[in-house]
Structure 1
Amino acid sequence: MEILDEINERLKLFNAEIAHVYTETALDPELGPDINELDIDEKLKRAILQYGIKKLYKYQYDAYKKIKNRENVLIISGTGTGKTEAFLIPIIDLAIKGERTVLVYPTKALARDQLNRIYSLVKELGLNVGIFDGDTPEKERERLYRDPPHILITNPDMIHIGLALSERFKFLLRTADHFVFDEIHVYEGVLGSHLRNLVDRIREFNKEIHIVGSSATIKATKYLLEELFGVEGDIIEGSKRRRGVAIHSLINSKGASRWTLSAFLSAILIKKGLKVLIFTDSQQMSELVAKIADKFGINLEVHRAGLNVEERISTEEKLRSGKIDGVVATPTLELGLDIGAIDAVIMAENPPNFTKYLQRAGRAGRRNKVALIFTILGEDPIDSYYLRHPKEFFERQINSLTFDRTNLEVLKIHAAAYLAEKFRVNLDKLPELWRRAYKVLNEEGMAKIINSYVYATHNTRKFVSSTSLRSIGPIIRIYEKDKKIGERELPQALHDLYPNAIYLISKKTYLVEELNLNSLIAKVKRMNNDLPYYTKPLYTMDLLEFHKKDEREVYGVKVEYGDMKLLMSVLGYLTYDIYSTRKEKTKNEYTYNEPINFTYVTKGLMIHHPLVDDFNLIDHMEAYHATEHVLISSARVVAGASLTDLGGISFPSGHVVIYDSAIGGTGVAKLLFERLEQAYEISLDIVKSCSCEDGCPNCVYSPYCGNNNKFLSRRKSFRLINDVIEGKLNKRSESVEGSPIA
């Protein structure tokens, strides 16, 4: 395409280039019967025909038959191939017969966005449809209570609180005949753990309920329905990919700032009249890209978590109505919100996994337009790996959902909520993990165990009211004077809100004046001028406790997995040039008089690396620390981890700890534990193929390293990994010794 030639020419300004182009063409799924052949209500047939559907696809017809027979199903089909209609048509037909469905979307915004789509099918059918979420007015709630809707649209957060604290909402849920969960690829990590426990509460552990799941991008097995919903069922697959033509380009940044390149590329496209959506995986980097875009003469708005809801809704409306031509977003816009026709998607960084890549790419080129998708590959180990193996980038397998059903922090929330609903629960009739959760709640004063029963206390409902499915850790509230302007969850907040950190909100620059972990408040002040630098924390991690749950050998090396108690200490911060087009260079380093400490529990693996005979103490430290970094990088390929899903700690004794960054654990570290052989093989390719002297961002440096990438050696890591794989090493230290490096 001419536009790609022009972009490639203009990228030379930054010494960058389009390194690989892949054209994707997908046809419609296999056709099924005409609408008039279906055994459904005649008025519904007319509504479907008016909606513009004359034939079902075969997979839609298969789903229709199973749903009408009350069989549990998981529907998988690519973006724009009609997966919504696959469950909507049968549940509307069942509604006409008097049966009720709860339709669950992962967010309020998506639920409300889908309402118009549903109304267009049911408006002439005399059906009662309603949304019930935290924003539903009291008058509308009363209407829904008086006349329970045939289709109740809600979200997991409302179900969580409503089941526990509202008798009338509980009645709406408990009397429903069918439950549909759309966009289930979202339910990974902590949110997946929440969903499984929420469904267990709906099922009351062993009650039979009818479940329908749906997603455009997920690897589905017959075990997924059991893992996620606790029921058995069938998988129905339509098209594996999005419909239409998409042109995917991988851009080699060659050391240029990916944030500057993203802003520059968006300016080229917007000035050609295209509507652009840029994705980042960092809240602060999305703000940074939007600020840099101002320098190229375009105005990009920001859409991310942590902003006030009103700001996000305003941005969605402006994009949908054409008042703005571009948005920088975190994964908040991955889902199928109607934001109008997007012409191009720019991924400022390689997404955590292929599922997210496909989901983001699917936002472009709707309504039969050719989609343009650009991914900027920078100076990091996995991006360098894919630049050497570009075909592998597009031939990756879609991962199954990864979540940890044993996350005790999640279980405590749902156990308390179930107790608030029931007031008294028989422990003997509960799963073992739930009994463990109630014992902890009893110790914390949130429940009272007497003999074989657990009873709610005056603290139970209060605790449930304060909980959220979107987080486990404590929430830091961000204030400018007396006005709350945002929030951030711990421990992630410690990467952004330490004293003197530069924090960006809605393209405005703030300086963090104070962080109080006791009151969970960060105080910031607005900076009048754009500052020429941004900040990153200097920190250490220490392993306080480790309780083994599993063990295996990997190339003869002992590897354990289990529960961990960690201590994060922020020691100071670094400043970096904000507009540098070359790789990051530290401007200054500052340390605090007293560190900021935060202790939390999670899950992770401990690798008992052997000792290399001719290495001294420093050699070993450089080898272990570099290997920790490169194994975490490899987890992006083998476990679908994002850059911030995992953290690591290295010890001079050879022990390397890799842990889930979220409190309680997400399941990503467990997946790495199970696939560690593959991670070592990819790591070997990374440290072997890099042409640097002895360490660089392309191989062993990490942007999230706590000590600013000190004590790292690519060559020594290569020696260690190669000798491990070849089984040359067997001498090791049994106990964890020495000062840790994060």
Structure 2
Amino acid sequence: MYKCPGCGSEILIYKSKKGFSLICLNCRTGGEIETESEEKAYLQFLQEYKNGNFIPESQKDIKKELEASNITLNELPEALRKIYLIKGISVVKYRLFREENLEEGKRPEELELHPKLRNYLSHNGIERLYKFQELALNYVSEGKDILIEAPTGSGKTEAFTLPVVDNILNMNKRGVHALFLYPTKALTRDQADKFMALEKATGIKFRVFDGDTSQEEREKIFRDRPEVILTNPDLLHYHLTMPWSRFRHMIRNIQFLVIDEVHSYTGAFGTHLHFLIKRLKRFTGLQIIGSSATIGNPEEFSTMLFSSPVKVIRVSVGRKGRLHFAMLYPGERSNISASVEALRILQMYSYKTLAFSNTHRNAEFLLRAARKGGLNVDLHRAGLSLKKRQGVERRFKAGKIGAVVATPTLELGIDIGSVNAVVSNLVDFTRLLQRLGRAGRKGQESIALLFLNNNDPISSYFKNHPEDYFTELRPCYIEPKNEVIGAFQLLSASFDKPLREDEFPELFGVRKKLLGERKLIRKGKYIIPSQEAGKEIRESGIRGMGKRVFIKFKGRVIGERGLPMALRELHQGAVYFHSGEAYRSSMLHLSSGESYAEVEKLHEEIKTEALHYSVPEVLEVIERKQAFGMELNYAKLKITDVVRGYVEKEFYSDKKLKEVDLSDKLSFSFSTYGFFFRAPEPEIEGSEEEKVAGSFHALEHVLIEGSNTLLGGGSDEIGGISLGTTGMIFIYDASPGGNGLSRLLYSRFEKAVLRSRSILEECACQRDDGCPRCTYSYHCGNNNKPLLKAGALSSLEKIASGRRTWAGEIKLDKGYV
């Protein structure tokens, strides 16, 4: 049997007019050879393949892309060519990211820099600054708040550090002048090492002060105050609320606030930072310098986050080595199975790989499957202990681990050594660029793989429109109107120092409520906190506001989840994954005090999905607008989430094993923000209630799932409800108090409608209810029933054509999520 030189499958050889034709039965590599025998035809075929003349169908577009860059197919990394031949996947798009040089600016001696800074640059061989670094110096010297938006590894750190150090040197005054904020302690300490040479050359001291700083180190900092403190928002919040804090006293006159990784402050965490900046400004006048990866709305977002006008400096290039990128579609196998096979090939060729998953659950699934396949991998995600995460970082850096499965914890700039391959789940292009920035940072050639899902609407859309993917720049979002976070921050501000009547006017209603609850008390012309408020502040933090549920195994806490998500993942009977191990929840205890779930080890290869529904209540309509001809209402809502049971499935095949009803339903209510509308009734055969309800249910699904990248990959943090046959559809922030996502979709609704219509039109499935590529949702609490694809498409066509509808009276028909 003749074997294919590419995939190793059987080659079919048959007589043709000119000689012999050869075709691989798997990858379709083939061609015609003019010769007199099969043996000679095969040998010549092997040579032609080696020369890059005979290639699989899937690689023809790649060849064109390479030729445009003067690269032959044979120069493509062999590991990547092997990955292209994995059975059951197709190459949707190949793109070569070339090495790019940044625009150069002036020489240090041509700039008005302090002599110590010029000597430092000269000593380190920096003959010219980059143009964007020069702009940062100029804008900061003019007193402007700025945001530096640039790719990973392009010199952002130098861009925000040089102007701060130059100003401090020119002040010639002791004390803390600048605060550098990082989103995590790990990143803070990783970045601190980069400032040692600068400190030695200029005398400007940089010190880390965070929760891991020993008391001895703290005393040294208090005695010999550094000019720059590196910390995180959590520690800043904690010490601001304590009037006796020496740290608070030390930073009360800072001139500069530097916020690194601004793009990570999105949703609830970003909303907390928005208020934290306002609280800090009560003590001192601040100039703010932000640094961010590429995002879709830099000026709008940074202006909202900083509460001040911002000058944006944008840099779009800056790769140090070329990167081969492939978008892959696992049409005949699961995303996890395809990812594991790609990891196997990358390990075979000794690539050091980061494999990103978007959620901790998916990361656990991938880790479990990779280990079962005998791969040398480990896990890095939030929720694991600091000791565990640092151990993974050290072993990967030392080459003892071939790959790390990670959630977004490793998207940030932590030094984990040389990475030359990245594998990613589907995320928006902005977030992908951040992940790609982890590979090839030392100039080495690297590989990046983006796996679409074989069963979701947005993957189906990009399979048919791959070029659209590269236009999906992620917008960042916060919700300053979040009353849950607003109340917490207002109480915190009252501990910082007594509130004046004219402060935080946007939280007037929240303040009134807190005064009524006696959490805030009037004292003369000021407002101060009560003792009860102190307890509330100490029991909560700024990483979201959902109540925490602790996960206990044999009495020991192994993790935690926030409400309302904990209801769906930790109800009795739920399977929960932690560090590659499976656990079954035996009990979920919810109370006003400590809430926890007790779990037991599970040795079966199964998983569970919650069956749930939600009930909406409109508390206040804030804004209305027309989209095409339909009225959209943005409002404050109350959502009651109810878990009624769960579905048990085989882990690898997804085969449904059984459906279980909970003896006692679990429920959780929270206030949030969202929008609602009445969709036009579809034109369908028959008028059975289930068909009409299924049409609106499918419409709600495709609007949310199909808009995932419009929302910066945040569809997991957004909820939807369709109210039976009424046509009423609610789309809302799925976190207490709101996170800003539904507002984002509200503003982009027209684009979401057109994309959703394309997804339904282009899906080739013939099922009435559609399929995972068009109408199904993994987040559906009703087991994806009822759904009607044709009805959803009909309603979307009416919306896009300008059919006018109004919400009118809301009747609480049966809700589908």
Distance 1:52 1:598, change over 3 A: farther
Q: Decide whether the 8 Å contact of 2:240 with 2:496 is kept in 1.
A: yes
Listed as ranges, the matches of 1:260-271 within 5 Å are 260-271=337-348
Structure with more relative contact order (C-alpha pairs < 8 Å, separation 6 or more) = 1
One of 378, 399, 402 as aligned partner of 2:477: 402
Q: Deviations over 1:54-87 (max 9, x none)?
A: 2201111121222234332111222221111111
- The alpha carbon displacement at 1:627 in A equals 0.2
- Paired residue for 2:286? 209
- Paired residue for 1:574? 647
Matched, 1:638 2:714: no
- The alpha carbon displacement at 1:148 in A equals 2.2
Distance 1:219 1:677, change over 3 A: closer
- Paired residue for 2:689? 617
- The alpha carbon displacement at 1:325 in A equals 1.6
Distance 2:738 2:332 in 1: 34
- Paired residue for 1:601? 671
Distance 2:771 2:798 in 1: 22
Matched, 1:288 2:288: no
Matched, 1:90 2:163: yes
Q: Which moved more, 1:265-274 or 1:211-220?
A: 211-220
Distance 1:76 1:731, change over 3 A: closer
- Paired residue for 2:543? 470
Q: Which moved more, 1:472-481 or 1:495-504?
A: 495-504
Distance 2:655 2:555 in 1: 36
User: Secondary structure in 1 aligned to 2:772?
Assistant: coil
Distance 1:377 1:273, change over 3 A: same
Distance 1:310 1:403 in 2: 32
- Paired residue for 2:29? none
Q: Decide whether the 8 Å contact of 1:47 with 1:122 is kept in 2.
A: no
User: Secondary structure in 1 aligned to 2:366?
Assistant: helix
- Paired residue for 2:566? 493
- Paired residue for 1:592? 662
Matched, 1:164 2:241: yes
Bigger radius of gyration, 1 or 2? 2
- Paired residue for 2:23? none
Matched, 1:70 2:147: no
One of 429, 436, 456 as aligned partner of 1:361: 436
Listed as ranges, the matches of 1:693-708 within 5 Å are 693=766, 694=768, 695-708=770-783
Distance 2:789 2:248 in 1: 58
- Paired residue for 1:174? 252
User: Secondary structure in 2 aligned to 1:32?
Assistant: coil
Matched, 1:253 2:330: yes
Q: Deviations over 1:475-515 (max 9, x none)?
A: 11111122111111111222321212111111122111111
Q: Which letter does structure 1 place at the counterpart of 2:187?
A: L
Distance 1:394 1:241 in 2: 17
Distance 2:317 2:479 in 1: 27
Q: Decide whether the 8 Å contact of 2:325 with 2:449 is kept in 1.
A: yes
Q: Which letter does structure 1 place at the counterpart of 2:119?
A: R
- The alpha carbon displacement at 1:730 in A equals 5.4
Q: Which letter does structure 2 place at the counterpart of 1:541?
A: S
Q: Decide whether the 8 Å contact of 2:321 with 2:442 is kept in 1.
A: no
- The alpha carbon displacement at 1:467 in A equals 2.0
| TM-score normalised per structure 1 | 0.94
- The alpha carbon displacement at 1:459 in A equals 2.1
One of 476, 499, 502 as aligned partner of 1:425: 499
One of 437, 462, 469 as aligned partner of 1:386: 462
Distance 1:219 1:715, change over 3 A: closer
Q: Deviations over 1:94-117 (max 9, x none)?
A: 333336211111111111100110
Distance 2:613 2:77 in 1: 44
Distance 2:538 2:159 in 1: 36
- The alpha carbon displacement at 1:267 in A equals 1.6
User: Secondary structure in 2 aligned to 1:459?
Assistant: helix
Listed as ranges, the matches of 1:107-506 within 5 Å are 107-165=184-242, 166-204=244-282, 208-240=285-317, 242-347=319-424, 349-351=425-427, 353-378=428-453, 379-396=455-472, 398-422=473-497, 424-427=498-501, 429-449=502-522, 453-506=526-579
Q: Which moved more, 1:143-152 or 1:66-75?
A: 66-75
Distance 1:4 1:608 in 2: 53
Q: Decide whether the 8 Å contact of 1:641 with 1:668 is kept in 2.
A: no
Q: Deviations over 1:224-269 (max 9, x none)?
A: 4431112223222233464432221011110411112212211210
- Give the total of aligned pairs: 731
Distance 1:446 1:26 in 2: 58
One of 536, 557, 562 as aligned partner of 2:635: 562
Q: Decide whether the 8 Å contact of 1:249 with 1:375 is kept in 2.
A: yes
Distance 2:805 2:740 in 1: 30
Q: Deviations over 1:21-62 (max 9, x none)?
A: 011225221111223434334333333334442220111112
Distance 1:138 1:444 in 2: 38
- The alpha carbon displacement at 1:14 in A equals 4.2
- Paired residue for 2:613? 540
Q: Deviations over 1:250-293 (max 9, x none)?
A: 11110411112212211210121110001111111101111111
User: Secondary structure in 2 aligned to 1:214?
Assistant: strand
Distance 1:146 1:454 in 2: 34
Structure 1 gaps of 5+ residues are none
Q: Decide whether the 8 Å contact of 2:101 with 2:317 is kept in 1.
A: no
Matched, 1:34 2:107: yes
| TM-score normalised per structure 2 | 0.86
Distance 1:503 1:524 in 2: 8
User: Secondary structure in 1 aligned to 2:435?
Assistant: helix
- Paired residue for 1:716? 791
Distance 1:612 1:219, change over 3 A: closer
Q: Deviations over 1:565-613 (max 9, x none)?
A: 1111111111222122xxx332221111111111111111111123346
Q: Which letter does structure 2 place at the counterpart of 1:167?
A: S
- Paired residue for 1:49? 122
Q: Decide whether the 8 Å contact of 1:74 with 1:235 is kept in 2.
A: yes
- The alpha carbon displacement at 1:662 in A equals 1.5
Q: Which letter does structure 2 place at the counterpart of 1:179?
A: L
Distance 2:304 2:804 in 1: 39
- The alpha carbon displacement at 1:124 in A equals 3.7
Give aligned-pair identity as a percent.
31
